[in-house]
Structure 1
């Protein structure tokens, strides 16, 4: 009987799809086009002589054969990675420099850091907490290896990560008559949340004033908590004493905010970096 050799790269793509990534997300992670990933899966199905994925308009699932392959694929990819890393210890030992916005640092990163320290204790991690514009520029210049930031039309944008609604946040129980000027507590410009707040109020014909401007998320949160004004962020900022005040204050609707993953295209494949990104994806599923 002729024995076929299964391509590890093809198995890696299969695993990404099997674990819930879309073809677009899988292609971004492995650095190939969605059509190339599709061809990889078709090639794998041809080599094994069976259908592995069940496709519909909205989702992709595993067939019984796909479920049977899953355990083999995980073991084969793991053994491959262990063998490669045994000869690339110097690459894995280098620090991982990762960037995230302040909201994520408070709400999502603690669990990511805990799990990463358990699963990758040998990797030195450097975190940069900054605004999206600065993080994207830092990826571009090579100051950091990857970042999670607000979605921008930028070549470094490798894949969508999450999408969540912007919300008006104020002191719990805050009262503001609909004919009163709205006091705003916002980051200084440029800031996507600041622009969304001002645009929404202007479109609704609602007067506003700047009660406080700060470059610090802690500063915004403190000012809102004492009733100085309202801010616009995501639900990740909500906590004791803070509430979504849109309905109570008659404030206008806001757009959604999308986050993307930014990676320098010149960087080589790096398991430690990709593991950290995978943990971020998992954390978002529970946080949102």
Structure 2
């Protein structure tokens, strides 16, 4: 077959985009070219095919009969093109599958960036996220291969563990609240404002409860919820307070912009995030997951966190970084 009979896939992509966006300007923005370049590519495609693809005098742009026929075929061809590229490129991937468990705060923070990086070297990445204890059960029953979790599962000898990072709990109050810096101010806060905390099956709740017992103070009121979004949102709505790890604060999304955070006055409370796997599983793959996680954290996610919530990243410590 002569090269002269091969259709230009870039021109096809531009054609499909113009047909979908219905203006040259919108198509140019989406593709990242100038409207002039878009127009030239469309003209070149029309010359190659020997047909007119668009009604030039209509606004927004409309397809001709030939254009409508090509549009249906072009989308199918471009999809096949993507499938071919993905199939060939996947041969370069080092591993076939990974079943990954992510704690709630990991999934809601650096999880998307981590999964994107893992997809570059693993053909199939299946992710399960949620509370720690159900994920531990999934690991023990071999429904997942690797777990990134704040729970070390110390009493299981068949498991191997590696510290990924540590984070210091922060005291969260409604934005604009008088700064809570001294221990005296913290004690007053405990007995005067409602505590918003996680449900009893949360490992973060267990740690926070231990700290409060050590202070000998009982909160005036408290509300228990199941998600970080609700914890942080209710701190703002009820003018309450909470003790939570920084990644949970980030995972609260838009609600995190409605609160202020401080070090816990006179106290230290740390959560360690672990990578846990069974000893019989692929050691090289889990080691690679750990390395990529730390790289994503230090080079990408913590930079983003500091930009959006200045000062929060200083409460997070990645070993060796």
Q: What TM-score, normalized to structure 2?
A: 0.53
Where does residue 148 of structure 1 map in the other structure?
148
Superposed structure 1 runs of 4+ greater than 6 Å apart:
none
Where does residue 241 of structure 2 map in the other structure?
230
Q: How is 1:191-230 mapped onto 2 (pairs within 5 angstroms)? A: 191-230=202-241
Q: State which of 108, 111, 121 in structure 2 corresponds to 1:109.
A: 111
Give the 3-state SS of the residue equivalent to 1:107 in structure 2: coil
On the 8 A contact 2:193/2:239 being kept in 1, the answer is no
Give the 3-state SS of the residue equivalent to 1:169 in structure 2: strand
Q: State which of 242, 250, 275 in structure 1 corresponds to 2:259.
A: 242
Deviations 1:98-131 (A, max 9, x none): 11111111221122123233x23x6222211122
Query: 1:228 Cα deviation (Å)?
Result: 4.5
Where does residue 159 of structure 1 map in the other structure?
162
Q: State which of 277, 280, 287 in structure 2 corresponds to 1:266.
A: 280
Give the 3-state SS of the residue equivalent to 2:123 in structure 1: coil
For the pair shown, the structure with the greater C-alpha radius of gyration is 2
Where does residue 130 of structure 2 map in the other structure?
130
Give the 3-state SS of the residue equivalent to 1:198 in structure 2: helix
Change (3 A) 1:232 1:152: farther
Q: What CA distance in whole angstroms lies between the structure 1 residues aligned with 2:230 and 2:267? A: 24
Q: After alignment, is 134-143 or 151-160 more displaced? A: 151-160
Deviations 1:112-166 (A, max 9, x none): 123233x23x622221112222222211111111111113314324211111211
Give the 3-state SS of the residue equivalent to 2:208 in structure 1: helix
On the 8 A contact 1:188/1:214 being kept in 2, the answer is yes
Give the 3-state SS of the residue equivalent to 2:207 in structure 1: helix
Q: What CA distance in whole angstroms lies between the structure 2 residues aligned with 1:183 and 1:192? A: 20
On the 8 A contact 2:173/2:240 being kept in 1, the answer is yes
Query: 1:208 Cα deviation (Å)?
Result: 0.5
On the 8 A contact 1:184/1:230 being kept in 2, the answer is yes
